[in-house]
Amino acid sequence: MTIDNRHITKREHSVEVLNHLLALLDCSLARYLSFARPWVRRRYLLLDAIARRMSYEHEIFARRIARLISDRRGMVQSCVFPMGFTSYNDLSLEFLAPRLLEHQRALVVTAEESAKQLDGDLEARRVVNKIVASLQRYAELLQELLSPNRVAPPPANEASVDEAPRRPASSVERKRFEQFAVETHTAA
Q: What is the CATH number of the domain that holds 122?
A: 1.20.1260.10
Q: Confirm whether 175 is domain-assigned.
A: no
Residue 115 predicted with pLDDT over 90 = yes
| Averaged confidence pLDDT in the chain | 81
Q: From CA 29, how far away is CA 46, in angstroms rounded? A: 18
Tens of pLDDT along 148-188? 765 455 555 544 444 445 555 556 555 555 555 455 445 54
Q: Confirm whether 154 is domain-assigned.
A: no
Total domain count, the chain: 1
Q: Distance of alpha carbon 83 from its chain centroid, rounded?
A: 20
Q: From CA 106, how far away is CA 51, in angstroms rounded? A: 16
Q: Confirm whether 166 is domain-assigned.
A: no
Q: What angle do CA 55, 39, 86 make, to 5 degrees?
A: 65
Q: Confirm whether 182 is domain-assigned.
A: no
Name the band, by pLDDT with cuts 50, 70 and 90, for residue 95: confident
Mean pLDDT, range 38-66, rounded to an integer = 90
Tens of pLDDT along 118-156? 988 889 999 999 999 999 999 999 998 888 765 455 555
Q: Confirm whether 90 is domain-assigned.
A: yes
Describe the chain by its helix, strand, coil percentages, rounded to 5.
70, 0, 25
- Provide the domain limits for residue 131: 5-146
Q: Confirm whether 177 is domain-assigned.
A: no
Tens of pLDDT along 3-45? 444 555 778 888 999 999 999 999 999 999 988 888 888 887 8
Q: Confirm whether 180 is domain-assigned.
A: no
Question: pTM of the entire structure?
Answer: 0.71
Q: Name the β-bridge partners of 92.
A: 39
Q: Confirm whether 179 is domain-assigned.
A: no
